[in-house]
């Protein structure tokens, strides 16, 4: 049993050329190694992806091709990143995406990587369990907990905010085991958090869209909630058919 105060965490954030962890490239990374009492180490770097940065991505993180033109490539940065992360617990908002980016980068470079063994804490899921912030985006959680702004959608700024939000979300826990026990269970989401129906209650979303979404690579809470809603509707239809003896006529 590991007490939170005695645990060293890694907070990680990557800015990228897009949202595909297999095809897209890292263009900035920020890493903070910390305990609940102090900062141990930090690292940040822009990275030259040697490919186009789409305008849609530039509008989010404001990292232009000119900014990365003379920066190191990922093979120069990744060894230090992996050494710094080591066996620590990795935290972040939607952290699975960032970890997959590093794993895929290491695979492309045929570089030894042990990140699949690191335990992860997704602060997005932790915030859903917390349940006291109407919107669980990192920016809204920052405001909810009165965490000072550090520069949104840039890697190190998001990392510093994320680490402080994580500490607030952990107030009722004493050990990492308690957090992992909580996160082992899926969370029922009532409002669609993304896509064309973002902000709508799941019970109001068209059936064909739910069937499509149920097979996508969404996080476990959203998939659980979508499949639960599909099951609810199916049971409802069966009940209606049973209750109406003229339904098959």
| pLDDT tens digits, one per residue of 76-115 | 999 999 999 999 999 999 999 999 999 999 999 999 999 9
Helix (H, G, I), strand (E, B) or coil at 12: strand
Nearest Cα neighbor of 12 from 181, 163, 231, 127 is: 163
At residue 236, the pLDDT reads: 77
Q: What is the pTM of this model?
A: 0.86
- For residue 120, pLDDT over 50 is answered with yes
Mean pLDDT within 221-229: 95
For 4-183, CATH number out of 3.30.1360.40, 3.30.420.40, 3.30.420.10, 3.30.310.50 equals 3.30.420.10
Q: pLDDT of 145-166, one tens digit each?
A: 999 988 767 889 999 999 999 9
Structure tokens at 10: 């890694």
* Average pLDDT, rounded, for the chain: 91
Q: What are phi and psi of 77, to 5 degrees?
A: -95, -35
- For residue 127, pLDDT over 80 is answered with yes
Nearest Cα neighbor of 89 from 3, 11, 173, 6 is: 11
In the 8-state DSSP scheme, what is residue 201? B
Structure tokens at 9: 């965490």
Mean pLDDT within 132-142: 92
- For residue 17, pLDDT over 70 is answered with yes
At residue 237, the pLDDT reads: 66
On the 0-12 / 13-18 / 19+ scale of CB atoms within 10 A, 204 is exposed
The least confident of 17-31, 158-172, 233-247 is 233-247
At residue 242, the pLDDT reads: 44
Q: Are 146 and 161 in contact (CB under 8 A)?
A: no
- For residue 64, pLDDT over 50 is answered with yes
At residue 33, the pLDDT reads: 98
At residue 211, the pLDDT reads: 95
Nearest Cα neighbor of 121 from 101, 91, 150 is: 91
At residue 152, the pLDDT reads: 66
At residue 154, the pLDDT reads: 81
Helix (H, G, I), strand (E, B) or coil at 178: helix
Structure tokens at 105: 């980068």
Q: What percent of the chain has pLDDT over 90?
A: 82
Helix ranges, 44-137 (H): 55-61, 65-68, 74-85, 95-108, 123-130
- For residue 18, pLDDT over 50 is answered with yes
Mean pLDDT within 43-51: 96
At residue 194, the pLDDT reads: 87
Residue with more model confidence, 185 or 1: 185
């Amino acid at each position: 049993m590991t007490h939170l105060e005695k645990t060293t965490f890694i907070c990680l954030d990557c800015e990228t050329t897009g949202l595909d962890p297999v095809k897209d490239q890292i263009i900035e990374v920020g890493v903070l190694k910390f305990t609940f009492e102090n900062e141990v180490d930090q690292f940040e770097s822009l990275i030259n992806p040697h490919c186009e940065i789409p305008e849609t991505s530039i509008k989010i993180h404001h990292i232009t091709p000119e900014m990365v033109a003379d920066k190191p490539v990922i093979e120069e940065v990744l060894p230090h990143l992996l050494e710094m992360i080591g066996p620590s617990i990795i935290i972040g908002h939607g952290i699975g995406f960032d970890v997959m980016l590093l794993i895929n980068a290491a695979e492309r470079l045929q570089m030894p990587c042990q990140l699949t063994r690191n335990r992860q804490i997704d602060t997005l899921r932790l915030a859903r369990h917390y349940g006291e912030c109407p919107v669980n985006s990192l920016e809204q959680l920052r405001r909810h907990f009165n965490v000072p702004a550090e520069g949104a959608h840039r890697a190190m700024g998001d990392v510093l905010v994320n680490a402080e939000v994580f500490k607030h979300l952990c107030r009722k826990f004493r050990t990492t085991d308690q957090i992992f026990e909580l996160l082992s269970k899926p969370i029922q989401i009532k409002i669609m958090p993304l896509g064309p129906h973002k902000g709508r209650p799941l019970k109001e979303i068209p059936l064909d869209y739910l069937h499509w979404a149920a097979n996508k690579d969404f996080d476990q809470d959203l998939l659980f909630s979508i499949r639960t809603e599909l099951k609810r509707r199916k049971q409802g239809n069966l009940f209606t058919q049973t209750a109406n003896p003229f339904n098959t006529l």
